[in-house]
Structure 1
Amino acid sequence: MALPAVVSVETLTPEAVAKTIDHALLRPEMTVDEVVEGCRLCARLQVASVCVRPCDVRIAAEQLRGTGVAVGTVIGFPHGSSPTSVKVCEALAALDDGAEELDMVLNIGRLKSGRTDEVRDEIRQVVEAAKARLPGCCVKVILECALLTDDEKVAACRAAEAAGADYVKTSTGFSSGGATLADLGLMRASTDPAATRVKASGGVRTLDFLVECLGVGADRIGTSASEAIIADLRARRAA
């Protein structure tokens, strides 16, 4: 569902907002019942996708089959420090379990060491393996912007784009900071909009902030506050 040319609370519909959302079900203490209920919520809201822990992909795929809501999961989460071979293995296992979208954490330490070629090559290996297994697979690369300088963010965006990633993403939501408008603007300016999209994640808990993120170039929003955000928009439109 296409967003309006001017993104604002007044121009957005609940349906359009829902289709920008990747609903996060990633807390380590979540029970199976909570995962199932979260998936049922996603089906009711008709969000773009649910992002679950790797161990929950089969559960999510069973719950969401036929609903139009995609199943996503995380790779190398949350620190990005797994060897490349492990990230590739995680990606393929997730796809075999029913995932359609993968949010992988790049190797933050290698990026900060200036070893950008290694970062790019690792992303490429995950992207190529995933798309060979599932051609329509969507791969998003998590930068963890709170730990990076602006120059490192730009380098990460360019590496991800060169490697064929579909999205660059601000944050895991499990580090020292989340999405900021400045970071989103920088990420949008550092990638080709025709090739690479931008995902805001970490700390997006209100409708107003979600709209601001979309306004500076985000295409997807990672949040666990989907129900409250959409309910707020419905209430404002009814007022």
Structure 2
Amino acid sequence: MIKSIDYTLLKPIATTEAITTFCDEAISYGFQTVFVNPYYVKYASDYLSKHAIKVGAPIGFSLGGMKTGIKVAETQEAIKDGAQEIDMLINLGAMKSKDYPVVKRDISEVVKASEGLTTKVIIETGLLTEQEKRIASELIVEAGADFVKTATGFNGGGATVRDVEIIRGVVGPEFGIKAAGGIRSLADVEALMSAGASRIGTSSAIAIITGGQTNSAY
């Protein structure tokens, strides 16, 4: 199970000291992928360079409303700093406005900028209708990304079994689904993976695998 968990520390007030502790935890527990805010990607990549741990970067986080060129530049900078996976947020305003070509182009340009790295696209399920979730998932597949990701955990709502089932019904059996947002227990992880999630994103990873307690939302 630990191989399927992306350990995250995306709190806006995370300090360098907190990132150092976070990286030490990733080493100690054997996580294979961690996510930190772009400001810390180089630091984490350098710190973890002697370990088989990928550093991922969130792009367009946590609202998604910046122009595509900014997301592309952010992606390129993150890769230059050592990012090995990319999690981008769709343009939610365009999605709600039914500007689907804009949403698809936004994704495809980041996919191109990712240069073959695993690219996951966050659709913020808590803000979309079921039909919008289906359409967003279709656009992500068409745009050439690797995963649909449920949520950031910052904008209301998080991963649910129903959302994973909806997405899996659209993308088919092989496409990646990353469940994220509000995942706090082993029971949550097991339910989401049974529903079809292939990756889990959580800042509560250690509590989950050790059976500890957590109040973290992200």
How much does 1:63 deviate? 1.6
- SS of the residue corresponding to residue 66 of structure 2 reads coil
Q: In structure 2, what is the equivalent of residue 129 of structure 1?
A: 113
Distance in 1 (alpha carbons) for counterparts of 2:189 and 2:171: 21
Say if 2:197 is the partner of 1:213.
no
Say if 2:7 is the partner of 1:23.
yes
Q: In structure 2, what is the equivalent of residue 10 of structure 1?
A: none
* 1:45 corresponds to which of 29, 33, 40: 29
Say if 2:157 is the partner of 1:177.
yes
The alignment yields a C-alpha RMSD, in angstroms, of 1.1
* 1:155 corresponds to which of 111, 135, 141: 135
Give CA deviations for 1:199-225 in whole Å, capped at 9, x if unaligned.
000010101111111100001111111
Say if 2:189 is the partner of 1:201.
no
Size of the aligned set, in residue pairs, is: 212
How much does 1:117 deviate? 1.4
TM-score (normalised: structure 1) = 0.87
TM-score (normalised: structure 2) = 0.95
How much does 1:232 deviate? 2.3
How much does 1:192 deviate? 2.8
Q: In structure 1, what is the equivalent of residue 126 of structure 2?
A: 146
How much does 1:48 deviate? 2.7
Distance in 2 (alpha carbons) for counterparts of 1:42 and 1:24: 10
Listed as ranges, the gaps of 5+ residues in structure 1 are: 1-16, 234-239
- Percent identity of paired positions between Structure 1 and Structure 2: 39
What letter is aligned with 1:53? N
- SS of the residue corresponding to residue 171 of structure 2 reads coil
- SS of the residue corresponding to residue 51 of structure 1 reads strand
- SS of the residue corresponding to residue 89 of structure 1 reads helix
- SS of the residue corresponding to residue 72 of structure 1 reads strand
Task: Give the greater-gyration-radius structure (CA).
Answer: 1
Distance in 1 (alpha carbons) for counterparts of 2:123 and 2:33: 20
- SS of the residue corresponding to residue 30 of structure 1 reads coil
What letter is aligned with 1:231? T
